[in-house]
């Protein structure tokens, strides 16, 4: 289980990263992240949908309704130019914190 703080910090960069692979929709993003994380990251819909709405408002992503293979309506999101640039900013921030943490954790042998 991942703490809510860590979830809050990683949701936006993860959504941006997922969409950089191609457009997708809320329900599929949740599954994509679950699989990509080996089951470690279990997002709830109540968490993600508001996040997507906010990111759309910030114009980081663009939405468009489409009908999927199964005939259901889906709200597909894709990166805007601004969102593409945001990926790099998010990564730099993340790595700044990550490097600080790893430097304090010290050299670590291959963990189990």
Partner DNA sequence: TAGTGATACCTAGCACTGTAATGTATCATG
Partner DNA sequence: CATGATACATTACAGTGCTAGGTATCACTA
Enumerate binding residues for a second copy (CB under 8 A): 2-3, 5-6, 8-10, 12-14, 17-18, 20-21, 33, 36-38, 40-41, 87, 91-101, 103-105, 111
Among 75, 78, 80, 87, binds DNA (CB under 7 A): 75
Whole-angstrom distance, CA of residue 44 vs CA of residue 54: 16
CB contact at 8 A, 16 and 85: no
Is residue 4 within the footprint of DNA (CB under 7 A)? yes
Piece of 32-40, 72-80, 86-94, 99-107 that binds DNA (CB under 7 A): 72-80
Location of structure tokens 């470690």 = 40
Q: What are the tokens at 59?
A: 């114009």
Residue 67 parent element (H or E): strand 61-67
Site string for DNA, 32-71 (x = CB under 7 A): -----------xxxxx-xxxxxx-------------x-xx
Whole-angstrom distance, CA of residue 83 vs CA of residue 54: 12
């Amino acid at each position: 289980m991942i703490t809510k703080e860590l979830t809050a910090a990683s949701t936006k960069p993860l959504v941006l990263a997922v969409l950089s692979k191609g457009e997708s929709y809320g329900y599929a993003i949740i599954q994509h992240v679950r699989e990509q994380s080996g089951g470690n990251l279990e997002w709830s819909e109540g968490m993600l949908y508001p996040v997507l709405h906010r990111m759309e408002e910030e114009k980081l992503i663009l939405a468009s309704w489409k009908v999927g293979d199964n005939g259901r309506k889906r709200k597909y999101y894709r990166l805007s130019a601004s969102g593409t640039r945001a990926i790099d900013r998010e990564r730099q921030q993340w790595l700044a914190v990550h490097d600080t943490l790893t430097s304090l954790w010290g050299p670590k042998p291959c963990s189990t």
